[in-house]
Structure 1
Amino acid sequence: MLRIFILSVLALIPVVQAQCGSGTPDARVTGSGSTFTATRGSTNVYTGSDYRAAIQAALDSISSGQRVSVIASGSIGANTITISSGKIFEGCGTINVGNKSGRGAIESTNTQNVQIPYLTMTGNPYFGLRFSGTSGLNLGTITMNLSGGLGIRFDRDAAANSNVKMGTITVTGAGSHAVETWNINGLEIGSVIARNVGESGLLLQKTTNANVGLVDGNNVGAGTGYATFRMANNNGQLSNGAYTTNVRVNKVVSRGGGRGVFCVSQSGGVEITTVDLANNGNNAILIENCYGVNIRGGTVNGGGEVRISARSEFPNTRDISITLRVDGTTVRESPCGDNTTWNLSGNGGRTIC
């Protein structure tokens, strides 16, 4: 028993992460202003005024399993950095980016075991980070202070991804979504923190077997139908067509903006442990043509209504269970879902089946 208790306590102790650029990276990018140098060990692989070229030269100089640390800050303009399989990329400086239509400022496609433990990005990208066809991708502490664009994107019309991990993703000022996924089987996210984002904080699409710790949005999707946490386009539907619970979210926090939680277009198979939603400008929660949705607890204070709905082009909403305290707004079920269970408290008005 004592051994089990000790192991349980140890499991709660966070793993101490090395600082960005610590130790001896296999390659480094240093410099400032108009002079940048990329070195691999003691070998110079680039010197010049092109920050992007220095970063790409450093990446191209290393092999799978090796690490590049970009110490310098600078701007890559409307260009793209590409990361190939097995490489570890650390953005220790601030990487400012421009908008290259349809492309990511940093991309990794059809690759295995790419790691980005640290990244700080500014600017107005088309996509800040863009991925498809990845396996074993691991994103750590990613901070994007943007003036537009979309933060992290997994492509819709490209090869699927598996075993993707993200640590703490913080996105401010994106014109579109903070994080948008398509076609992932096996997703682990510590937290997505979205501030003043134009569309969704975390948008999951055709993603299965996902575990998310926290989605935290403030002023996300204002004036739109998007949400701090949105599931769409058959998200959570397993390969056999079932909606057995396979998407688990520990907590959703949302203040202002558009919707708080939104499930739509034949998505489901999701369990949310708790929500903390207040003053959302659109629905606090909207569940529309979704199946197998369980919200186990939490609070809604003010803002838009909590709603179960359905459109005629999809099968009716079914197998919904909601336990919630609702104050200062209404709860409405229209049309009636199939096999809906409500466990409500609070002063919110109710029109339910």
Structure 2
Amino acid sequence: MTQFTISLLAAALALTSAVQAQCGSGSPHATVTGSGSSFKATRGSSQVYSGSDYRAAIQAALDSVSSGQRVAVMASGSIGANTITISSGKIFEGCGTINVANRAGRGAIESTDTSDVQIPYLTMTGSPYFGLRFSGTRNLNLGQITMNLSGGLGIRFDRDRAANSNVKMDVIRVTGAGSHAVETWNIDGLTVNQVIARNVGECGLLLQKTTNARVGLVDGDNVAAGTGYATLRMANNNGQLASGSYSTNVYIDKVVSRGGGRGVFCVSQSGGAVINSVDLANNGNNAILIENCYNLSIKGGTVQGGGEVRLAARSEFPNNKDIWVTLTVNGNTVRESPCGDNTNWTISGNAKKTIC
């Protein structure tokens, strides 16, 4: 077991210990119960909402508790094209199924400019603009998040708003998103156990301007079909430190990808990353595309069929530099054009190689 795997397990255990063993267990400070068109929000012995509006019941429960206190939504229902807002320090457990609709530019659930928010459990359905939307967070902790969607984007950290620090995610499962399962911008300090994406229109995990990241597994099946996106994509200066350097600070244990579009894609002046292992098969676009990236290492794994393994470059950015790729590639091609600066290939298998 590698030191990275040990540290990842420790992080996962820390996430688990930080939340209740079961959704809604024990004595939440506030609860939402009911069904159909009758919902009730209760804080302790006090009723804070009673009526037909599921979203209003949830928001009333959240607004009734203070920092460090827990809300358990036991009821299932629909919030429509509306937003639930979580403020600092609050613990939100979505034990029922929360169905959502599209509110343009907004999240079905949002937490912005906050600290110490926890969402240990959540099950979401529907077609949101963003399922979960964050910016300006510190010590955000997401646990077991399941999104069975019919469109929209799963989890989004905003590009043009305040940055985030110390974000943790345990197991994120997203099916049916029209866009990305998980998209990050502007995070310093990210720990992810697993992102599991199924039948997702764009990326499984998209990392942008994110530094000091540790990711366990990214697993995509039919992700990004017919697009230039990938099960794992690192873009827009991902891994570039504040100093401008690309010293290694992004660690990814394993990427699994079947079908869909690309498997792994590093682009637009990203890097500073190590991927320990890949298991890629029958990707509809490049199995791996490395384009204008710096200090990237893929240390092992297999590529079977699909689109080629490619090192490329756009003229508007500096060329690839300091790339290490060790792979077994079968039923495919490996191509480097143009030649990178300090490219190191170790390729086994029957792949046809056109490399520098």
TM-score where L is the length of structure 2? 0.95
Q: Which residue of 2 aligns with 1:54?
A: 57
Q: Which residue of 2 aligns with 1:308?
A: 311
Q: Which residue of 2 aligns with 1:188?
A: 191
What amino acid does structure 2 have at the position aligned with 1:109? T
What amino acid does structure 2 have at the position aligned with 1:26? H
In structure 2, distance between residues paired with 1:12 and 1:25 = 25
In structure 1, distance between residues paired with 2:47 and 2:218 = 43
8 Å CA contact 2:231, 2:262 repeated in 1? yes
Deviation digits for residues 51-88 of structure 1 (CA, Å, limit 9, x no counterpart): 00000000000000000000000000000000000000
In structure 2, distance between residues paired with 1:25 and 1:240 = 44
More deviation, 17-26/81-90 = 17-26
From 29, 32, 37, the counterpart of 2:32: 29
Deviation digits for residues 201-245 of structure 1 (CA, Å, limit 9, x no counterpart): 000000000000000000000000000000000000000000000
* Residue 349 (str. 1) matches residue 349 (str. 2): no
Q: Which runs of 5+ in 2 are unaligned?
A: 1-5
What amino acid does structure 1 have at the position aligned with 2:178? G
* Residue 177 (str. 1) matches residue 180 (str. 2): yes
Q: Which residue of 1 aligns with 2:115?
A: 112
What amino acid does structure 2 have at the position aligned with 1:189? V
What amino acid does structure 2 have at the position aligned with 1:337? G
Distance 1:181 1:12, change over 3 A: closer
Q: Which residue of 1 aligns with 2:74?
A: 71
Q: Which residue of 2 aligns with 1:339?
A: 342
State the 1:301 CA deviation: 0.2
Consecutive aligned runs of 4 or more in structure 1 exceeding 3 Å deviation: 10-17
In structure 1, distance between residues paired with 2:251 and 2:10 = 20
In structure 2, distance between residues paired with 1:121 and 1:229 = 23
Q: Which residue of 2 aligns with 1:4?
A: none
What amino acid does structure 2 have at the position aligned with 1:194? A
Deviation digits for residues 312-343 of structure 1 (CA, Å, limit 9, x no counterpart): 00000110000000000000000000000001
Q: How does 1:221-236 map to 2 (within 5 A)?
A: 221-236=224-239
Q: Which residue of 1 aligns with 2:43?
A: 40
What amino acid does structure 1 have at the position aligned with 2:238? N
In structure 2, distance between residues paired with 1:216 and 1:298 = 14
Share of identical aligned residues, percent? 79
Q: Which residue of 2 aligns with 1:220?
A: 223
* Residue 282 (str. 1) matches residue 257 (str. 2): no
* Residue 95 (str. 1) matches residue 104 (str. 2): no
Distance 1:13 1:207, change over 3 A: closer
Distance 1:13 1:178, change over 3 A: closer
Deviation digits for residues 169-218 of structure 1 (CA, Å, limit 9, x no counterpart): 00000000000000000000000000000000000000000000000000
Q: Which residue of 1 aligns with 2:3?
A: none
State the 1:11 CA deviation: 6.4
In structure 2, distance between residues paired with 1:26 and 1:13 = 25
Q: Which residue of 2 aligns with 1:253?
A: 256
Q: Which residue of 2 aligns with 1:150?
A: 153
What amino acid does structure 2 have at the position aligned with 1:84? S
In structure 2, distance between residues paired with 1:12 and 1:117 = 14
What amino acid does structure 1 have at the position aligned with 2:207? L
Deviation digits for residues 23-48 of structure 1 (CA, Å, limit 9, x no counterpart): 00000000000000000001000000
State the 1:104 CA deviation: 0.1
Structure 1 counterpart SS, 2:268: coil
Q: Which residue of 1 aligns with 2:205?
A: 202
Deviation digits for residues 245-268 of structure 1 (CA, Å, limit 9, x no counterpart): 000000000000000000000000
8 Å CA contact 2:41, 2:58 repeated in 1? yes
Q: Which runs of 5+ in 1 are unaligned?
A: 1-6
In structure 2, distance between residues paired with 1:13 and 1:167 = 6
What amino acid does structure 2 have at the position aligned with 1:270? A
State the 1:285 CA deviation: 0.2
* Residue 136 (str. 1) matches residue 139 (str. 2): yes
Q: Which residue of 2 aligns with 1:19?
A: 22
TM-score where L is the length of structure 1? 0.96
Deviation digits for residues 106-128 of structure 1 (CA, Å, limit 9, x no counterpart): 00000000000000000000000
In structure 2, distance between residues paired with 1:252 and 1:187 = 17
Distance 1:328 1:181, change over 3 A: same
What amino acid does structure 2 have at the position aligned with 1:319? D
In structure 1, distance between residues paired with 2:47 and 2:180 = 39
Q: Which residue of 2 aligns with 1:3?
A: none
Number of aligned residue pairs: give it.
346
Structure 2 counterpart SS, 1:263: strand
In structure 1, distance between residues paired with 2:304 and 2:201 = 22
Structure 1 counterpart SS, 2:58: helix
8 Å CA contact 2:12, 2:193 repeated in 1? no
What amino acid does structure 1 have at the position aligned with 2:98? I
